[in-house]
A and B are shown apart, each in its own frame.
Chain A
Amino acid sequence: MPARIGKPAGGAANPDGDNNIRTPDATMAFADLTTDYKGAKGAIFRLALATGIRTVLTAGFYRFWMKTRMRRYYWSAIRPGGMPLEYVGRPTEKLLGFLTAVVFLAFYIGIVNLILMFFSFSLFEGNTPAYAVSVVGITPLIFFAQYRARRYVLARTRWRGIRFGLEPGVAGFVWRSLLHWGLTVLTAGLYWPVKTYWLEKYRTDRTFYGEQRMHQGGSWRMLIKPMLHLYLSAALLAGTIGMLIATEDPRFAPLIFIAVPWFFFGLAAWKAGSFRALTNTKTIGEARLKASPRTGRIVGIYAGGWAAMGGIFIAAGIGVSILFGIIFAATGFALENIDEDGYLTTLGNLPAFVPILFGIITYFAIFIFWGVLKEVFITLPVAQHFAETTEIENPQALLGIKQRARDEFAEAEGFADALPLGDAF
């Protein structure tokens, strides 16, 4: 074993290499624990690109590895009190869970969809009712998958070597979700904050850090204020459209240009405000969480992020156009060389698969790059902002917590993988 001679003094011997300076015998700082964020745009770009390409090349089967590796990165970037979160989920358990879910879901989706389609054609002479019923029929499964996925992810997350966990309780979550979402739809969204609070409370109250149960305090009323901008802008938007239809007076039209940006601002305000309100009322035993994300920063991240992504795509589009311009110029481009179906006959001596191959590569390249840029310009900065504005108050209360047993959970998040939930993590 080639053990090496000691480092020269200097860097290696600097005990203050991190920003939590403690004496060697202090086990924990007694001040509030702030959260560092170590994620970097370049690193997430490389990771997302490499895993995204592999996922496409394997017809989607690398996605279990991609998800695992991305989570490892995002988790480890968040360092409350200087210690990174650790994601210990494994790709193969996700694959196994997915296969399990497929066995059950294939039957349900295949046969049930077919029967629904039959009744839809027979009774309603169209396929729309079938799709509608099919969506409704799959809704409980989606809530089921959400809770199970949350349980899996928490069971595979550690901080300071201690596991998180979520108590079994999926049935209660499914019927509550159906009830609260139903009321949200019936009230045209007015009920949204109440739904958000109760579903969050259900999950938080069953969440554990080690053997310590978490608690969601507060009440749904605290989510009304973060929702105000959304309520008012949606009302303005609906009112304006209503007036435009009723009076056909174009003078109402400019209100749209106030209502739509206001609505987007409202989304950011809700994101920041609801996170702040819900986090500030969460407790882990005697320890409390405190969050102070800012609406303005969220608006800035989204506006800047979309602008950057749009700019990069436009620049890439211009680049490709120039490249094509050169190719066309070299091959003798002229309008009369385009036949009536838009095919350039001067390229006709190319084998037919060349344009097809080019089209396929472009199609996948756009998908991959869009996903990668979203990680870089939206997901990572948002995660960073939420992490850096969250701290743990009274952290010494955590010290007595004991490790919890491993939650084997063989199905992992298979149902969430199989159903198109479109969740970020």
Chain B
Amino acid sequence: MQKFFRFLKSMTFGLILLGIIVIFSVIGSVVPQSQNAMTYVRQFPSFYKIILTCGFDHIFTTWYFIAVTAMLCMNLILCSIIRFRSVVNQKIQTERAAAVPTAVETDEKQRDAVIRALEREHCHRETFAEGTEVYSKNSFGRFGTFFTHLGILLTVVFWAMAMYLPKILDETCYPGESIRLEDGTEIQVDSFSIETDAKLDYKSVINIKLPDGRESGLKEVSVNHPVKMGQYKVYQQTYGTIGHVTVTNEAGASDSFYLETNDLLSADGKNGILYDNLYPDFTEENGQMQVISSTSGSYKNPVYVYTVVEDGQQTEVMLAFPGDVQEIGTFSIHFDDPVEYPGLRIKRSPSWVNICLLLSFMVMTAGLFMTFMMQPVLVTVKKDGYTVLGRQERMRIILNDAVHSTEGEEHHNA
């Protein structure tokens, strides 16, 4: 049992788990994720059964991937985090270092070169009996691996929370209208614009109204610049284009409408127009017009297509351009310029999770920086030579070079 526990907290186990995560990740990047079953049948005719049976189509949410990640977290806790005390105890003890026997013997000239090299490295010096000097620096660097592993552990934990706790809703909304959420929060879309002049950009102006009455005021949402209010964050996600008409009656009163496919514009339910669609462009050949349907790009020459309805009967299919007017009985329908509207992503998440995740990132980066850039240095220099304590390879190489540089000088002098 003890053997098993030792294995669980060993670096070997951690490395095996990392290797398994690499294999799963390769599979997850090669097999498209979260597609419908037919996609795999078409794309992988020989392997689709394995893919679907083993869950390779959603590998990053499978129980075994989560289990491996959980085991890695456990390994991190057992392997690194509980070693905190031993890391603290590794505090550089210069008195003890002074008593260490000499590892590399040097003559006086070489010793001076070693001391000069240590001074160039800005090491702190302490002098002990019999001319023994202990040079040290970066004592705090010993916490590097601890902070790195702690940072990774916290990142995995808060990352999982940041992935699975938020509720995300994708909504489209026409300018002037609003989206009402379950908890009573209201997101009003004031306007939407596509800037094409200098730099292409997509901007919505919105107001977030929380159930407690607080409001964000009119704020601009654009790509990379979400608007945050309370637990909500609103992102500029996509956009669409919709037809728009203004209807005027004989008294001169008017109202405007957004048109959606199969909308019937009628005062009495029998006479009016049945809206079909809005097309971005058209071609004309020999007097024949052909509308162009496209799902992306701008609406260069928008064309409305609708059917006139008379006495409940659909008569003829008609085309209209912005500015055209269709008279139906006592009212007239004016076809306006199409309106562009935003698709917004609304994310609700506890903000403390994001803050904790960002802190985890900082701990991890600081840990790595300390591990590799601030390695602790402890060197004992005695009359007969010096000793580099710990695994400070860089200092070993520097001091070795310093010793050999004096040999070079000797050859030169000779």
Q: Do they bind each other?
A: no
A residues sitting closer than 8 Å to B (CB atoms) are none
